[in-house]
Homo-oligomer: A and B are copies of this chain.
Amino acid sequence: MGQDCLMRITALAGGVGGARFLRGLRDALDADPVLAQSEITIIANTGDDITLFGLRVSPDVDTLLYTLGGGISERQGWGRDEDTRQVMGELAAYGVGPQWFGLGDKDLGTHIARSLWLGEGATPSEITTRLAQRWGLPERGLRLLPMSDQPVETHVIVTRPEGPEAIHFQQWWVGEGAATPAERFAAVGLDRAVAAPGVLDAIREADIVLLPPSNPIVSIGIILGVSGVRDALRGTPAPVVGVSPIISGKPVRGHADTCLEVVGVEASARGVAGLYADFLDGWLVDPQDAGQPAPAGVRWTPRAYDAPLLMGDRAGAARLARAALDLALEVGSATPAGVGGA
């Protein structure tokens, strides 16, 4: 491999898990004298987007911005560092809900800016570019793209005593802790959503495509539903490597197992790999899951990580991301120009 190798890495990502993995990836690249100039293009799920208090909130995009830009609340994993809740307190006093989605004051600054720009006619892509500039992403070789400029909102059809009800994914996930029995998900608007500018090219022209341990149904799964994305993944010459979000049947974070259950997929590393089988070239799993066979029809076997498949702290995330990167370099059948074998 030559010096100053500019590798183009593209990743699909949801919120907290994706953001921590990608911060780790950036750290891993920065620590590598050969790969430090590499660029990461992130295709963010926007199916979690929600309008709260008349303001447009894009939770996964914001978590990615704050985590990669150094403004995240490390304790929560989402929202801003050292934030306050003055605005929410006032809204509660005025009887304005919902109160289950805790928006800090600094965080609201982002939502107010986004809503203002949307009102002025800017697209989510343009807005994400503006927000990313403030967070210093471009100069660190990080390009953040929303999956689509069309609004997509994942709803959950839950089972209430009085019958089924469709609620916003965030209400189910945050407001009800994903504890209310769900019948199915409905990604409202997804059938009309086209990929945002740059998204398909980022997959087609990547040297490596990575799937962080994001939720396979409501994060990665929604991105895969955007017109053209799945075909681009199937057709890209780049190796596509994923990291399992499930360890021994349990999600690393969040309620991915519940989501898999809702759609009738086994909550296992193998179950998730099966959802990606048509385009996946490599799959990093926890040592506990090393014995599971690959999904039917694939030519690879899952690769066991050499430690529990957890990110832990920032250094641990960098180590995991490096392992996924190395697996991709290893399985890459179509070696990109300038990137020789190890």
A263 located at the interface, meaning its Cβ lies under 8 Å from any Cβ of chain B in the complex: no
Shortest Cβ distance from residue A27 to the other chain B in the assembled complex, whole angstroms: 24
Chain B residue numbers with a CB within 8 Å of A112 are: 53-55, 87, 91, 96, 108
A162 located at the interface, meaning its Cβ lies under 8 Å from any Cβ of chain B in the complex: no
**Contact between B106 and A87, CB atoms less than 8 A apart:** yes
A95–B131 CA distance with the chains assembled, in angstroms: 10
A86 located at the interface, meaning its Cβ lies under 8 Å from any Cβ of chain B in the complex: yes
A90 located at the interface, meaning its Cβ lies under 8 Å from any Cβ of chain B in the complex: yes
Q: Which one of A86, A93, A108, A116 has the highest number of Cβ atoms from chain B below 10 Å of its Cβ?
A: A86
A109 located at the interface, meaning its Cβ lies under 8 Å from any Cβ of chain B in the complex: yes
In chain A, residues 98-115, which have Cβ atoms closer than 8 Å to a Cβ of chain B? Answer: 104-106, 108-110, 112-113, 115
- The digit string for A117-148, where 1 denotes a CB below 8 A from any CB of B, is 00100000000001100100000000000000
**Contact between B89 and A131, CB atoms less than 8 A apart:** no
Contacts A87-B106, A90-B113, A94-B110 aside, 15 further interface pairs with beta carbons under 8 A come to A53-B112, A83-B86, A84-B86, A84-B105, A87-B105, A89-B109, A90-B106, A90-B109, A90-B110, A91-B112, A93-B134, A94-B109, A94-B113, A95-B134, A96-B116
Q: Which residues of A contact B (CB under 8 A)?
A: 53-55, 83-84, 86-91, 93-96, 104-106, 108-110, 112-113, 115-116, 119, 130-131, 134
